[in-house]
Amino acid sequence: LQNDYLRLQEEKESNARSYPRHFPLVISRAKGIKVTDTEGRMYYDCLAGAGTLALGHNHDIVLDAIREVLEQEIPLHTLDLATPLKLAFMQEVFSILPVELRDSTKIQFCGPTGADAVEAAIKLVKYATKGKSILAFQGSYHGSTQATIAMSGNLSKKEQLQSLLPDVHFLPFPYEYRCPFGMGGEMTAKLSAQYIENLLDDCESGISAPCGVIVETIQGEGGAIPANLEWLRELRRITAERGIPLIIDEVQTGIGRTGCMFSFEHAGIIPDVIVCSKAVGGGLPMSLVIYKEELDQWRPGAHTGTFRGNQLAMATGLATLRYIREQSVLQNVRDRGEQFKASLNELKARFEDIGDVRGRGLMIGVEIVNTAGLKDRLGHYPPDGALAAAIQRKCFEHGLIVELGGRHSAVVRFLPPLIITEQETAEVLSIFEKSVIEAIA
Residues in contact with ligand PMP by the rule CB under 6 A: 50, 113-115, 118, 141-143, 216, 220-221, 249, 251-252, 277
* Residue with smaller CB distance to ligand PMP, 216 or 424: 216
> Looking at beta carbons, which residue is closest to ligand PMP?
114
Helices (H), 1-83: 2-12, 19-22, 48-51, 60-71
Least CB distance from residue 346 to ligand PMP, whole Å? 29
| Distance in angstroms (rounded) separating the CA atoms of residues 32 and 227 | 30
| Distance in angstroms (rounded) separating the CA atoms of residues 412 and 368 | 8
Least CB distance from residue 275 to ligand PMP, whole Å? 7
> What does the DSSP 8-state code read for residue 152?
S
| Distance in angstroms (rounded) separating the CA atoms of residues 331 and 339 | 12
Distance of CA 217 to the CA centre of its chain: 9
Least CB distance from residue 365 to ligand PMP, whole Å? 13
Q: Which of 189, 195, 147 is nearest to 167 (CA)?
A: 147
Note the maximum CA span of the chain.
65
CB 295 within 8 A of CB 105: no
Least CB distance from residue 141 to ligand PMP, whole Å? 5
Q: 167 φ, ψ to 5°? A: -80, 110
CB 111 within 8 A of CB 275: no
CB 250 within 8 A of CB 279: no
* Residue with smaller CB distance to ligand PMP, 387 or 412: 412
Least CB distance from residue 405 to ligand PMP, whole Å? 9
* Residue with smaller CB distance to ligand PMP, 289 or 354: 289
* Residue with smaller CB distance to ligand PMP, 143 or 383: 143
Q: How many other CB atoms are found less than 10 A from the CB of residue 289?
A: 27
Least CB distance from residue 223 to ligand PMP, whole Å? 12
CB 173 within 8 A of CB 206: no
SS3 at position 42: strand
| Distance in angstroms (rounded) separating the CA atoms of residues 438 and 441 | 5
Distance of CA 404 to the CA centre of its chain: 13
Q: Where do the DSSP E strands lie in 51-184? A: 105-110, 133-137, 168-171
CB 285 within 8 A of CB 259: no
* Residue with smaller CB distance to ligand PMP, 287 or 311: 287
| Distance in angstroms (rounded) separating the CA atoms of residues 320 and 326 | 10
* Residue with smaller CB distance to ligand PMP, 114 or 131: 114
Least CB distance from residue 367 to ligand PMP, whole Å? 18
* Residue with smaller CB distance to ligand PMP, 18 or 306: 18
* Residue with smaller CB distance to ligand PMP, 142 or 394: 142
* Residue with smaller CB distance to ligand PMP, 276 or 318: 276
| DSSP track, 257-272 | TTSSSSGGGGGT---S
Least CB distance from residue 228 to ligand PMP, whole Å? 18
Least CB distance from residue 172 to ligand PMP, whole Å? 18
Least CB distance from residue 321 to ligand PMP, whole Å? 18
* Residue with smaller CB distance to ligand PMP, 120 or 314: 120
Q: Which of 107, 174, 116, 103 is nearest to 147 (CA)?
A: 116
